[in-house]
Amino acid sequence: MGKQGKEAKRSSSNRRASRRGFGVATWVVLAGALAGIVALAAMHQGPSSPGRATALDPERVARGRAIFEANCAACHGTNGVGEDPANAEGGYPAPPLDTSGHAWHHTDRDLAAFISNGSPNTPRMRAWKTTLTQEQIGDVVQYIKSLWGPRERSCQGPRHMDPACR
């Protein structure tokens, strides 16, 4: 085989290898993209997706209810119905925490942070982190979630924007 024949054969072989390499690289990129999409969907949906409410722990709900009644019901009302604006003492009324409000638009972490740190909008919602333990605050969050229906629990947090939750 002459010099031109060897170069043509090598060039053809390089093109085939290049195409195979491009094919493998393409599959690797596509697989990575698919894994990323699946991971993002899982993060967006969290532990439950619309239509499947998260289970509540009855013991935690009972403990949270006792803490709520002792510390929160004076402002947020019995069963978390909220405060009449006429009784808000010149500030923001304590919002409803049941399905009539939008507490379920917040994540458990957000609700715990509101309870722990209080509200900058009103001094009436003081920080409870020096009075209640993190476990007790979590119990209160469980109780608040017990005031919601299955739809609100399954659409909690950013999922409330999901078309299936509207």
State the CATH number of the domain containing residue 137.
Answer: 1.10.760.10
Residue 86 lies in a domain: yes
Return the number of other C-beta atoms located less than 10 Å from residue 68's C-beta. 23
Res 15: pLDDT: 55
Print the domain residue range for 35: 1-45
Same domain? For 134 and 79 the reply is yes
Amino acid residing at 54: T
Whether pTM > 0.75 for this model: the answer is no
Q: What is the mean pLDDT of residues 25-51?
A: 47
As for how many domains the chain has, the answer is 2
**Strands of the chain, DSSP E:** none
Residue 38's pLDDT band (cuts 50, 70, 90): very low
Residue 65 lies in a domain: yes
Same domain? For 62 and 39 the reply is no
Cα dihedral 83/84/90/94 (nearest 10): 20
Q: What is the mean pLDDT of residues 70-92?
A: 88
Res 47: pLDDT: 41
Same domain? For 16 and 71 the reply is no
Same domain? For 64 and 33 the reply is no
Inform me whether the pLDDT recorded for 102 exceeds 70.
yes
Each residue's pLDDT tens digit, 106-150: 999 999 999 999 988 888 899 999 999 999 999 999 999 999 999
Return the number of other C-beta atoms located less than 10 Å from residue 36's C-beta. 10
Fill in the DSSP letter of residue 137: H
Same domain? For 6 and 64 the reply is no
Same domain? For 40 and 70 the reply is no
